[in-house]
Amino acid sequence: MIIRAELQARVREWGLTEEVVEKDYVLGWLLWGVGTHPALRDAWVFKGGTCLKKCFVETYRFSEDLDFTVLDGGPLEPDDLMSVLDEMLETVESASGLELRSQPPRLRMRPDGRSAEGRIYYRGPRGAPGEARVKLDLTYDEVVVEPTVRQTIAHAYDDQLPGDGMVRCYSFVEVFAEKLRALGQRTRPRDLYDVVNLYRRADLRGERGLVVDVLARKCEYKAVPVPTLESVTAADKLADLRGDWSAMLAHQLPVLPAIDDFIGTLGNLFEWLGGADLARLEPAPAVRSVTTDDTWVAPPTMTRWPGGVPLEQIRFAGANHLLVDLRYQGTSRLIEPYALRRSRAGNLLVYAIKADTGEVRAYRVDRIEGVRVTDRGFIPRYAIELSVALAVTTGRHGPRRRR
């Protein structure tokens, strides 16, 4: 287990609370436990917003729960589940040093008989006197359209997850499609946040047909209509989203973006789903005095950067179209962050536009003296390229489901 000093270092770099960062650390170890347990590694398929963040791309939303679809052959009866959970937690305790069984996990079947929810209690590097908890959500009645994939678990801490550090997940396309379905079924700010963040990225732009197909199959299985712009922006739903936006998201993000920026993106999202070819922004132009190393790409998920510079806060701001108050070589300026690149000399560079002049600048990371993410939005003039775009793999097996 990491020491509290490292936890506090991540808190400073990422702009979050100790409780949130500690839970992210614990989630990584619990996922490792699921990915290595013989009864769970191929039967529990990780999905949802936490899956996006821990296994695919950085959403900067620090989730609080673990969602799985249980395939045929996975443990189903409560007694079997509790036994398997206890084995898994014992393994994670031994490997990590976390305290996970001072209070037994809880698990109950929901009245529909097709899903279960649970709680796992822990004490971690904060050394808090009481236990914190992770919510566990298991679904037994769900169609899995795309082949599942084993993904590496993002774990940006000094200790390392043993072995390959992987867990079985929905495909990237299927996570997006299920998020779209959820946006149509319920009114939760986290679904709006995740859907818009995924749409803004380049990863899935070439997979529109596949996204639409998977979404249609998943809606058909649940006997719910395919979401439309009109259905997700109905007056009652928008009122609920606005009312819950801060309460449900503020503690999960370094800075809470304005909800109107996310609602305003839905029109383009649904036009794209409907077949429209939307204009793509060009990359930020090169700076004359800098030659970049085109072989280097920024990592897809959060990481630790040399010198403790809070680069993740800059990447968060870019992904959420928020201005950054950057202190650099003795002066401060507001910037629109666009790209993270490396020069051939080996220097990391933040490519940005000065908000007051519109000039493109390249800021050496080792000369950054301070970062403050503001709540002021900007309309991007260039493509946001602060993390690598994933290569989306396809390929089809028949639909799988838990009956």
What percentage of the chain exceeds 70 in pLDDT? 96
pLDDT on residue 389: 66
List the domain range (segments joined by +) for residue 222: 174-273
Q: Are residues 256 and 335 in the same domain?
A: no
Residue 42 and residue 120 share a domain = yes
Q: Give the three-class secondary structure for 192.
A: helix
- The residue assigned the tokens 């774990």 is 155
User: d(Cα 85, Cα 33) in Å, to the nearest integer?
Assistant: 9
**Quick check: is 401 in a domain?**
no
Which of residues 239, 273, 307 is at a domain's end?
A: 273
Residues 138 and 222 in one domain: no
Quick: pLDDT tens for 18-75. Answer: 999 999 999 999 999 999 999 999 999 999 999 999 999 988 898 889 999 999 878 7
Question: Which residues, 6 or more positions from 171, have their beta carbon under 8 angstroms from its beta carbon?
Answer: 146, 147, 148, 149, 393
Query: Rounded distance, CA 79 to CA 212, Å?
Result: 39
What is the tens place of the pLDDT at every residue in 256-278?
999 999 999 999 999 999 999 88
Task: Name the residue with higher pLDDT: 278 or 5.
Answer: 5
Two tokens, residue 76: 């189903």
C-alpha distances in angstroms, 282 versus 57, 167, 286, 321? 21, 35, 12, 16
Given 229, 246, 273, which residue is the final one in a domain? 273
**DSSP helix/strand/coil, 331:** strand
Q: What is the DSSP string of 259-270?
A: HHHHHTTHHHHH
Residue 295 belongs to a domain: yes
Per DSSP, 176 falls in state H
| DSSP 8-state class, residue 356 | T
Radius of gyration of the chain (CA): 21
Close Cβ partners of 35 (under 8 Å, ≥ 6 residues apart): 41, 150, 153, 165, 166, 167, 168
Residues 226 and 108 in one domain: no
Q: Indicate whether 403 belongs to any domain.
A: no
Nearest partner of 392 among 224, 170, 219, judged by Cα: 170
CA dihedral sign, ordered 386, 388, 389, 390: negative
Identify whether 398 is part of a domain.
no
In a domain, 397, yes or no: no
Total domains in the chain come to 3
Which pLDDT score, from 0 to 100, does residue 38 have?
95
Q: Which residues pair with 149 in a beta bridge?
A: 169
pLDDT tens for each residue of 378-395: 999 999 999 876 655 544
- One domain, residues 43 and 127: yes
Token representation of residue 385:
């390229």
| Residue 246 domain flag | yes
Q: Please check whether residue 375 lies inside any domain of the structure.
A: yes
Q: Cβ of 48: how many Cβ atoms within 10 Å?
A: 24
What pLDDT is recorded for position 403?
Answer: 35
Query: 286 or 97: whose pLDDT is higher?
Result: 97
Report the alpha-carbon distance of residue 187 to residue 196 in Å, rounded.
Answer: 14
402 has a pLDDT exceeding 80: no
**What is the arithmetic mean of pLDDT over 332-360?**
96
Residue 70's Cβ-side half-sphere holds a number of Cα atoms within 13 Å equal to 19
The verdict on 103 and 180 lying in the same domain is: no
**Prediction pTM value:** 0.92
Q: Are 381 and 394 in contact (CB under 8 A)?
A: no
Q: 231 with 257, same domain?
A: yes
Q: Which of 238, 273, 308 is the last residue of a domain?
A: 273
The verdict on residue 399 lying in a domain is no
Q: What is the biggest distance separating any 2 CA atoms in the chain, rounded to whole angstroms?
A: 66
Same domain membership, residue 179 and residue 163: no
**Contact (CB, 8 A) for 350 and 362:** yes
Same domain as 154, residue 69: yes
pLDDT value of residue 393: 52
Whether residue 399 has pLDDT greater than 70: no
Please tell me whether residues 110 and 22 are part of one structural domain.
yes
Q: Confidence band (pLDDT; 50, 70, 90) for 210?
A: very high
Q: Are residues 150 and 12 part of one domain?
A: yes
Q: Are residues 218 and 161 in the same domain?
A: no
